[in-house]
Each structure stands twice: as C-alpha cells, then as structure tokens.
Structure 1
Amino acid sequence: MIELSLEQIRNFRLYTHHLDRIFAKTDIDKLVGACGMQNTPPGAWETALYNRVPGCSLSEMDDLLYTEKSLLQAWSLRGIPVVFPISQSHIFLSALIAEEEEPWIYTSGISLALDFLQMDFNDLFRILQQVIPQLDDCAIMSKTSLDQTLADRMLPLIPENKRVLWSQPSMYGSPDKQTVGGAVVSFLLRPCAWKGLVVFGERQGTSPMFTSYKNWTGRSLIPEKDACKELVRKYLHCYGPANVNHFVSWLGCSGKQGRRMWNTVSEEMEPVSALGKKAYILSSDRERLLQPDSTERELLLLGGHDPFLDQRDREVLQPDKTLHKQIWKLVTNPGVVLYRGEIIGIWNAKKEKNGMDFTITLWKSIPDRPYLYALAEAYAAFRQIRLLGVEIMI
C-alpha cells in the first residue's frame, strides 16, 4: 500500500482546490464546480472565488449569479447555501435526494415539531410539495417570509384537528416570528431544494429572494443517473485521501446514504496509507499525488469558510489539535493564514466607520511576512473598503 506524506497531501489538495496559482475568469465554472462554494455567512463564496481569481470583481460575481445565471445558489451539502455551476445542478442537488428508508440531510431536528403535531414526516413533505410549485410564478423575499407563506398555504391541507397546533408559536427559538408550521417548512425546504422546488434568487439588500429552479432558470431540474458518482468523484478528488466517514461528515448525510453513494465509485478508488491510517484515493489521482508539483503561491489569506478548510482530517491543515478551536468555531470562523497548505495563523477584519482594520495572529514565523500587508490591502480593495491598518501578532 502506498504511504503518502503530509507534504504530498497538502500539495495535492492545494492543486485540486485551485489554490496553487492564480486563475482566469474563463476558469470560473471549473473553480466553483470543484466542490461547490459555501455561502454562509453571506459573501463567503465571494472570498473563496477571489482567492482563486483575484481579477474578478464583486459586480462581476453578481453578474454570474443574477444576470448571466451561469452560477446558482441553493441549499446543498449539509443543508447549507452553496454556489455551484448551474450546469452541475444534478450533482449538487439531485444527487442528495434520499432513497427509501434513508433520512434526508439536515432534517433530524424536525422530530420535535413532528412529536408536537403527532404527524408523519412523509405526509407533511407530500403536502408541502403540493403547494410549493406556486414558486414557479413568484419570488418571496426573506427566509422567514418563505417559511410562513408556505406554512399558511399548507394549512387548508393539514388535517382539521391539527390546524390549531400548526399555528402555535414555534418551539425552535423564534416564537414571535415563526409558527410550528413555519418550523416544519424550514426543515423540509432542504429536500425541496434537492428536487429543484426552491432556489435562491437575487439578493435585495440584506434579504435573499427565493423562487423555484424552473422560474429562475426557465427549465425544470432533471436528475441524472450518474449524479451520485460525480459527487463522490468530486469529493475524493478535492479531499482525498479520505474514507467514507469523512465523506458522510462533509455531506452531512446518514451513514446509510453516504455508504450507498460512496460504493458507486468503489471500482475507481484504491487504498493508501495517510497519516498512518487507511484511506482512499481515485486511481486516476495516484500519479499527481506521488509527484507533487511546485506552487506559484505559497502564502494566502483564506476566508474562514473556504472549501479548502472543509477537510475532515484537520490535522493535515494544522497538526496541533489544541489550535483547532481557534480555527473552526461553532458559528463564524476567522480567516486563516495558509502557508504551503498549512494553517499557520488566523485573521479577522473589523469594519469601522471609515474602513477596515486587519488583525493577523501567527503561530510560526515565515520568511515573507511583509507580504501579509499586501494581501490584506488587496482583500480590502476587493471588498471596496479602505484599509485602515494591519496588526500582526506572533
């Protein structure tokens, strides 16, 4: 069995995540489609694309999403908003559809509402699918309004003896804004997304718009039989060497669904030893893994939710596990200082009235530390915010 070194793995992942050099705007579909780009918190995908195509402006990114519509935003892996090429909708949406007896991604929390209503998941999902096609002819602003509008439209179809319960305040933390029905809809919107029944439209200020895939693109979402294979290939290419548990965690799915999908490409993968453990790579990636290439970019300021940071074997990114809690938070992560594929520090940008202050914390010294100032200045320019100052702490 091949033994892979830490340096080989880091070099390979920099290459597959397109962080080894600067790319052109003509490559954007390839870059965004590598494994999708998370867009929570809002703007995360813009920072990720900027780190691969610094020459692409914010307005050009908006055009790709809202005017050209070559890219699409929808709830995808782990149930989070993800931006991906619209041509790959079957991979980032249809592939996630659960099969019989597989729980749907993201929906485990719905059980509290189901117990309160004493209703079945599948029955409620069928009712929602009866009313949500109304999005084919309209768009709804804000997630809160989307939840409640659809819950109200479901109400006449809910058994009469359950309607009072359906309209009770939510038990999920926002009883003043959400009903129990609205909470149910919130969970079920993810499965609806994977069927092409709801996507993100153009953002209006701080509020996203929601409509159907058909209304946004002009055509229905058509599942393709090899979508699962294509998704697993993407994962293994970007995050290999990996195992099925890594894949399940990245996708946020059940073990049953993850294993089914993983096994669709079993004949295309082979075992290797990585960090002393058995893992798998695509056989087609073996040669590149064993022959690392030089990178044109060694030092980067990555956004805190860059897809490169979704590696499940986090010790590859930072061997010192005591530092992991500083990198991966429960809500919003800081940005990271990446040097040759290793996280050597974190950064935060604080918006002030007149501009942006940058704070960088390093855990080890680097030869080109002054370059960090240039990177911070370039990022502020991309965000169209004046850089007030950069503080580097070691």
Structure 2
Amino acid sequence: MTELSVEQIRRFRLAAHHLDRVYANADIPVVVGACGMQNSPPGAWETALFNRVPGCSRAEMERLLYEEKVLLQAWSMRGAPVVFPASESGAFLAALTAGEGEPWIYTQGIALALEFLQMDFDTLLEQMVQVLPQLDGRLILSKTALDQTIAEWMLPLLPEEKRKLWNQPSMYGSPDQQTVGGAVVSFLLRPCAYLGLVVFGERNGISPTFTSYKTWVGRGLEADHQEAARELVRKYLHCYGPATPDLFVTWLGCSKKQGRRLWELAAQEMEPVSVLGKRAFILAADRDGFGSPKELSREVLLLGGHDPFLDQRDRFILQPDKSLHKQIWKLVSNPGAIVYRGEIIGVWTGKKSGNKGMEIKMTLWKECGRDVRRELERLGAEYAAFRGIACSSIIFQVISKSDAQPHC
C-alpha cells in the first residue's frame, strides 16, 4: 500500500483547490465547482474565488451569480449556503437527498418543535413540499420573511387543533420574530433545497432574497441521484483525499448511514493508501497526481476564514500543532489563514476603521523572511482593493513557539 507524505498531500490539495497558481476568468465554473464555496458569512465565497481568480472583480462575480446565473447559491453541505455551478446542481443538491431511514442534513434541531406540536417530521415535510410551488414567480426578501410566509401557506393543511400551537412564539432564538411554524420551516428548508424547491436570489443590501429553483434557473431540478451522489464523492475525494468515510460524513454534515451509502456508490473508483501509518482512500484516477505533484507558482496565500481549502477534516495536514487549531477554527468568526506551501503558518484579520481604511493584522507562529512578508503585504493590499477599501495599515506579530523551526 502506497505511503503518502504530508507534503505530497498538501501539494496535491493545493492544486485540487486551484490554489497552486493564478486562474483565469474562463476557469471560474471549474474553480467554483471543485467542491463548492460556502457563503457563510456573506461574502465568504467572493473571497474564496478572489484567491483563485484575482482578476475577477466583485461586479463580475455578481454578474455570473445574479444575471447570467452560471453560478447558483443554495443550502447544501452541512446545511450551509454554498455557491456552485448551476449545471452541477445534481451533485450539490440532489445527491444530498436523504434515503429511507436516514435523517436529513441540518434537521436534528427540529425535535423540540416536533415534540411541542406532537407531529412527525415526514408529515410536515410533505406538507411543505406541497405548498412550495407557491414560490414560483415570487421573490421573498429576508430569511425571516421566508420562514413566516411558508408557515402561513402551511397553516390550512394542519389539523385544526395544531394551528394555535403553530402560531405560538418560537422556542428557538427570537420568539418576537419567529413562530413555532416558522422554526419548523427553517429546518425543513434544507431538505426542500436538496429537492430543488428553494434557492437564494439576488442579495438586496444586507438581506438575501429567495425564490424557487424553477424560477431562478428556468427549469426544474432533474438528476440521476446515484450518479449525482458518485460525483459528489468524487469531488470530495479529489479535493480532500486521502480520506475515510468518517471524514466524509463530517464534511457533509450527514448521518453515518447516509454518508456510508454515498461513499459505497463510488467505492470501486477508490484505492487505499497509508498516511502516517493509517489507512485512507484516494481516487484511483488521482494516483499519478500524488506521485508527481504540480509545481507551485504561488507559495504564499492569504485565505478567508471559510475558504474550502480550510475545510480539511484531517486538520493536522494543515497545521501539525493541535494547540494552534483553536486559533484557526473557532465556533464563530474564523480568522483568515496565512498559508505557506499548504501549511497554515498564522492567522489574519482585516477590519475597516472609520474613514481610515482597512487595518490588517497578521499573526505568525514562525518567523518568515523578507520575501514572504513583502508577499503578504502585497496580498493584504490587493484584498483590501478587491473589497473597495484602501489598506491603511498592515501589522505583523510573531508569536513563536519554542519548538517552532523557521522554514519560510
């Protein structure tokens, strides 16, 4: 069984994520379609695409997403908003449909509402699917309005004795803005997205809009579910392999039962390898790529906090020192990551300060040479310009661990 080194894995993944060199605007569908780009917090996908195709302006990104609709935003892996090519909706939506006896992604929290209503999940999902064609031809502003509008559409379908409970204040978060029915809808929007019934429309200021897949794309979602699932697993393994079924389950945010079902659909296309003595899998088609990794024309990267590259579940590949992981991956508001040849060597933040412009702070865990610092300064200034803000200052802070060895 082939043993792959951490360096080989890093090099391969950089190329798979299109971070090995600068890509052109014509490559955008392939770049975005590698594994999708999370858009939570809003704007995260723009930063991710900028890091791969720096020549693409935000206006061009919006044109591709909102006007040409080459790209599409919908709830996808882990129930998060994800931007992906509309032509690949099968892999990013239909493949996530739960099978018999499998819980749907992102719906575990609905249990409180179901207990309060004394109603079952499948009945409510069926009723929501029944009313969602009313989204056709409509554009609803804000997630709160979407939840409550659909809850009102569902109300006549409920048994009369459940309607008062449906309209009670929500037991989640904001009872002054959401009803129990609105909370139920919020959880069920993920399954309905995977069924091709609801997508994001054009953003209006700070608020998203929502409509039906059919209205936005111009046709219903049609997909061969098994082939769509195989393609999803291929995408995952190409971007995050070597991997295991459990890592895939974590990345997808699904149940073990669903994850293993999907994994098995593509199992014949995989082969085992060894990583630090442990068994994992790659796509057989990627074998040569690991053996002969592409040359890197970009060694230093300034990635956004929710870049797909940082979504590697075997985090020791990105940063071997586990004591640093909490500085990279937080419960909320991840900082950006400073990456050198595939390893995270520090974190960064960029904050607009009044009329002064963007203040960028970079914290490094290992001392780096002048060339790397100059490149980081250039990347910081370019990112601020991409956001339409002048870069007022870039501050470096080096916090070296006693066992850290300078290497960049």
What band does the TM-score fall into relative to the shorter chain?
over 0.9
For residue 317 of structure 1, what is the aligned residue in structure 2? 318
Q: Which residue of 2 aligns with 1:240?
A: 241
Q: CA deviation at 1:293?
A: 2.6
C-alpha displacement at 1:366, in angstroms? 2.2
Which residue is 1:157 aligned to? 157
Which residue of the partner structure matches residue 283 of structure 1?
284
Secondary structure at 1:323's aligned position in 2?
Answer: helix
State the shift of 1:140 in Å: 0.4
2:358 matched to which residue of 1? 356
Q: Secondary structure at the match of 1:137?
A: coil
- Shift of residue 161 of structure 1? 0.6
Q: Which position in structure 1 is the counterpart of 2:275?
A: 274
Which stretches of structure 1, 4 residues or longer, exceed 4 Å deviation after superposition? none
The whole-number CA distance in structure 1 between the counterparts of 2:183 and 2:316 is 37
Q: Secondary structure at the match of 1:333?
A: coil
Partner residue, 2:117: 117
Q: Does 1:376 align with 2:380?
A: yes
Alignment: residue pair count: 394
Alpha-carbon distance, 1:153 to partner:
1.1
What CA deviation, in whole Å up to 9, does each residue of 1:102-137 have, x standing for no partner?
100000000010001000000001111111110112
Query: Could you tell me which amino acid in structure 2 is paired with residue 193 of structure 1?
Result: A
Shift in Å, 1:169: 0.4
SS at match of 1:353: coil
TM-score of the superposed pair, with normalisation by structure 2: 0.96
Gaps of 5+ in 2: 399-408
SS in 1 for 2:281: strand
Alignment of 1:120-135 (within 5 A): 120-135=120-135
**Could you report, residue by residue, the CA deviation over 1:310-357 in whole angstroms, capped at 9, with x for unpaired residues?**
100000000000000010011110000000000000000011111110
| Mapped partners of 2:373, 2:137: distance in 1 | 54
User: Are positions 1:26 and 2:20 aligned together?
Assistant: no
Q: 2-side partners of 1:63 and 1:82: how far apart? A: 17
Percent identity, aligned pairs only, is: 66
Q: What is the TM-score when the length of structure 1 is the normalising length?
A: 0.99
Instruction: Give the distance between the partners of 2:367 and 2:297, measured in 1 at CA.
Output: 20
Shift of 1:190: 0.3
- Per-residue CA deviations over 1:190-219 (Å, capped at 9, x if unaligned) read 000011110000000000010000001111
Task: Quote the Cα distance in structure 1 between the aligned partners of 2:5 and 2:221.
Answer: 42
Query: AA paired with 1:169?
Result: P
1:188 maps to 2:188: yes
Q: Structure 1 CA distance, aligned partners of 2:140 and 2:375?
A: 45
Secondary structure of 1:193's match?
helix
Equivalent in the alignment of 2:344: 343
Within-5 A mapping of 1:1-394: 1-225=1-225, 226-354=227-355, 355-367=357-369, 368-394=372-398
Cα deviation, residue 16, structure 1: 0.4
User: How far 1:292 sits from its partner (Å)?
Assistant: 2.1
Q: Deviations over 1:352-375 (max 9, x none)?
A: 111110000000122322221111
User: Take 2:342 and 2:196, find their aligned partners in 1: how far apart are those partners?
Assistant: 36
Query: Match of 2:3, SS?
Result: strand
| Higher deviation after alignment, 217-226 or 28-37 | 217-226
Partner-residue secondary structure (3-state), 1:369: helix
Output the CA distance in 2 between the equivalents of 1:292 and 1:246.
23
Of the structure 1 ranges 102-111 and 370-379, higher mean CA displacement relative to structure 2 is found in 370-379
Unaligned runs of 5+ in 1: none
3-state DSSP of counterpart to 2:373: coil
Instruction: State the distance in 1 between where 2:41 and 2:4 align.
Output: 34
SS at match of 1:175: coil
C-alpha separation in 2, matches of 1:121 and 1:141: 26
CA–CA separation in structure 1 for the residues paired with 2:51 and 2:285: 27
